[in-house]
Structure formats: C-alpha cells, structure tokens
C-alpha cells in the first residue's frame, strides 16, 4: 500500500497502479509510472517463463538421454592370485660356527692355517704351550682385552662387559707348562685366529673359530605390528644384492625371539622391533656372513581374485559399487574392495569374470542403454 508524497519503489504493485489512476493529481507522472509498472510485470513474466522452459527441456533431455543407447568402454575382471607380503631386512650370519679355546693361558708356538682356509674335522690349527709365570699371564690378558675392545663397544652394556672380563681375568691362574695342539672340531672354513706365533693368549677368548658355511641364516628384525603374522617354519624367499647371478633362494623362519627391543638409539626412528632368525636352504657358495639380505614372506593369499581398474569404482551413499552391463543396460552392482595394487583393485561381491563392467563409472548414467566396447 502506497501513500501520497512517498517514493514508488513498488510501482508494479496492483494497489499502487489503482491509487495512481484515481488519486494521483499529475496525469503525466501517472502515465509514466503506469508504463514503468507494466514493463516490470512483463519482465518478471518473461523470466518466469524462461526458467520454466529451461526446466522442462532439462527434464526432457534427461529422459531422452536415459533412453538413448550409448557406446561405452567396458572391462572384464582380471583373475589372478593376490598376496600380501612382509619384507624383512637383515644380515647373513653363521649357524655352524665352532670356537676353539686354549687350555688356559698359553703361548702360540706355531700357526698352521690362515683365515679363509678350508679345514677338515680334526685338522690341527695351531700349536700352543701353557704359561707358568704371572708376567706371561698378564701379557695374555692384555692381548685378549685389546681383541675384545670392539666387542665391548658394541655390546648393550659396555661397562658390564668390561667388568665381566676383568673378573674372569682376575680368576686366571698359571699352570704347569704343557705343549698341546688346537684342532678343528668340524670341517669348514677358518673364520678367525686369536693370535700369531709368539703371542700369549689368556684363555678367556677363542684361539680360533671354524664355520660350516653351508649352515647360514639371516638375522632380521620385524616391526611389532607385523610379528603376529609370522610363525616358526614359515617359508620365505631370500635375496642378496651382493649376489648378482642368483636372485632368490629359499629359507624359513627358524626362531622368533620372545621379546622386543627399541631400535634407532642414535636416530629419530625409535621403533619397537623383534629379532627373527631365518635359516637358509642350500645357500649359494658365494654367500658370505656379514652380507646384507632381505627376506620376503607371504602372510596372506587371495586365490582367483577379481581385479578391475580404479576408475570403475563408484562411491554412493550405500557404499562402493560398479556399473555392470546386463541386458544392454547399465546396472548398479554393490561391491566390497580388497587389496589395492598399483593399477587395479580387488573387488568382492556378486560378480564373475564374465561380467562386463564400465571402465569409467562416471561416463554413463545408471539405467542407460549401453553398447559395450571391451577394452583390450
């Protein structure tokens, strides 16, 4: 409702037009305002009609598109076994190592082998003589302490290791001079020698070590989240970068330690891990203790899994789905997804390897008529 003397922001209002016609004193102004009001009404009607036409055309277009037959690229699910693996990295270690100790504090008279030599069981490695005087005994303790410095430093409790060695050294006593031979208890390879000719050994450390290199293992560590997936006797494939000629060889989990430890004391990565020993079956002769290696263990396997491209997966309110061409129509089929691979994903549901699945779930509307073109 408008009143005399006010502006006319709503000239197109019917009440305003009636007031202007019968009560407005200025006829020209009345005609101008009436003309403007009529023009505004026409503009509004035009806009409303245009919107209605667009809505009708959109609905008709959607209906026509649903009825229209389109050619679309489809895929047949690939079928293959899918596996989940755990990879452990570690170091090759000896399992068939035998250490030979001197009979108390002894002086080395002769050494008949060198490190790396192959020896037979019972073969003489060195000739020694037990010492009688305290000075020679002290010399032997000092010599063996020097040999143990690296071992002390690498132990979990260096101070404790040194104290234990010192206590053992203090308990040593000299004996009656006696010449004897140190012999190898097994056939294998000489891995270390405790001294050279003329050296005095305390008897606390081995004078030699021999290893059967056909008995090797990999000492590795597994994260605490994965250790429950492993079990003793579990088969695995082992690889070693140092062996270029042979990629993989067989192994199995020999032992899982009953405890876990924190690693990375000198780094930011302070993970909790458990040590695992993996025995090797017929390791290649080129393999050496100390080499780095990695073991691949299969912890889960899905046989005959159906695999499709990621682009074929749609996400709806009810979950994931694919569009399957059935009877020439794109039909929504609910699915569940499994393992994710590099270029495809495992699907589970009421599907077979014969089903034609839209390669791009966004390319065709559900219910559309489809001519399937199989992707090579």
State the CATH number of the domain containing residue 159: 2.40.50.100
Please check the confidence at residue 161 and state whether its pLDDT lies above 90.
no
Judgement on whether residues 115 and 176 belong to the same structural domain of the protein = yes
Judgement on whether residues 195 and 179 belong to the same structural domain of the protein = yes
Q: Is 78 strand, coil or helix?
A: strand
Q: What angle do CA 105, 110, 116 make, to 5 degrees?
A: 100
Helix orientation angle between 158-170 and 134-147, rounded to the nearest 10 degrees: 160
Domain membership of residue 34 as a residue range: 14-63
Judgement on whether residues 322 and 369 belong to the same structural domain of the protein = yes
Judgement on whether residues 155 and 70 belong to the same structural domain of the protein = no
The pTM (predicted TM-score) of the whole model is 0.61
34 vs 185 pLDDT, higher one: 185
Tokens of 250: 């067989």
Q: What percentage of the chain's residues is helix, strand, coil (to nearest 5)?
A: 25, 40, 35
Judgement on whether residues 290 and 318 belong to the same structural domain of the protein = no
Q: Give per-residue pLDDT as tens, 62-82.
A: 554 455 788 999 999 999 999
Q: Give per-residue pLDDT as tens, 86-125.
A: 999 999 999 889 999 988 788 899 999 999 999 999 999 9
Please check the confidence at residue 271 and state whether its pLDDT lies above 90.
no
d(Cα 288, Cα 11) in Å, to the nearest integer?
100
Q: Is 44 strand, coil or helix?
A: helix
- Residue 336, domain member (yes or no): yes
- Residue 8, domain member (yes or no): no
State the CATH number of the domain containing residue 356: 2.40.420.20
**What is the pLDDT confidence band of residue 172, given thresholds at 50, 70 and 90?**
low
Judgement on whether residues 277 and 254 belong to the same structural domain of the protein = yes
């Amino acid at each position: 409702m408008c009143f005399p003397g006010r502006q006319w922001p709503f000239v197109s209002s019917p009440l305003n037009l009636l007031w202007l016609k019968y009560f407005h004193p200025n006829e020209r102004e009345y005609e101008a305002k009436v003309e403007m009001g009529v023009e505004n009404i026409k503009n509004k009607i035009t806009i409303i009609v245009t919107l209605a036409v667009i809505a009708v055309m959109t609905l008709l277009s959607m209906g026509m598109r649903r009825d229209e037959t389109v050619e679309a690229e489809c895929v047949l699910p690939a079928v293959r076994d899918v596996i989940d693996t755990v990879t452990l990295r570690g170091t090759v270690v000896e399992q068939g190592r035998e250490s030979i100790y001197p009979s108390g504090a002894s002086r080395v008279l002769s050494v008949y082998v060198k490190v790396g030599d192959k020896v037979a069981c019972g073969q003489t490695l060195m000739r020694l003589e037990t010492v009688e005087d305290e000075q020679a005994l002290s010399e032997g303790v000092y010599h063996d302490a020097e040999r143990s410095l690296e071992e002390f430093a690498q132990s979990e409790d260096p101070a404790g290791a040194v104290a234990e060695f010192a206590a053992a050294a203090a308990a040593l006593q000299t004996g009656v001079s006696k010449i004897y031979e140190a012999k190898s208890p097994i056939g294998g390879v000489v891995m270390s020698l405790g001294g050279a000719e003329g050296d005095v050994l305390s008897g606390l450390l081995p004078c030699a070590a021999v290893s059967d290199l056909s008995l090797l293992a990999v000492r590795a560590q597994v994260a605490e989240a994965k250790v429950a997936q492993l079990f003793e006797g579990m088969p695995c494939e082992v690889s070693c970068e140092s062996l270029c000629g042979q990629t993989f060889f067989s192994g199995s989990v020999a032992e899982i330690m009953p405890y876990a430890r924190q690693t990375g004391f000198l780094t930011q990565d302070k993970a909790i891990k458990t040590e695992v020993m993996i025995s090797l079956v017929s390791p290649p002769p080129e393999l050496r203790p100390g080499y780095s290696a990695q073991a691949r263990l299969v912890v889960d396997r899905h046989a005959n899994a159906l695999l499709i491209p990621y682009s074929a997966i749609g996400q709806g309110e009810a979950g994931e789905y694919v569009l399957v061409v059935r009877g020439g129509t794109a039909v929504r089929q609910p699915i569940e997804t499994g393992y994710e691979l590099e270029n495809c994903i495992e699907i589970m549901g009421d599907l077979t390897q014969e089903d034609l699945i839209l390669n791009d779930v966004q390319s065709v509307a559900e219910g559309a008529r489809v001519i399937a073109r199989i992707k090579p």
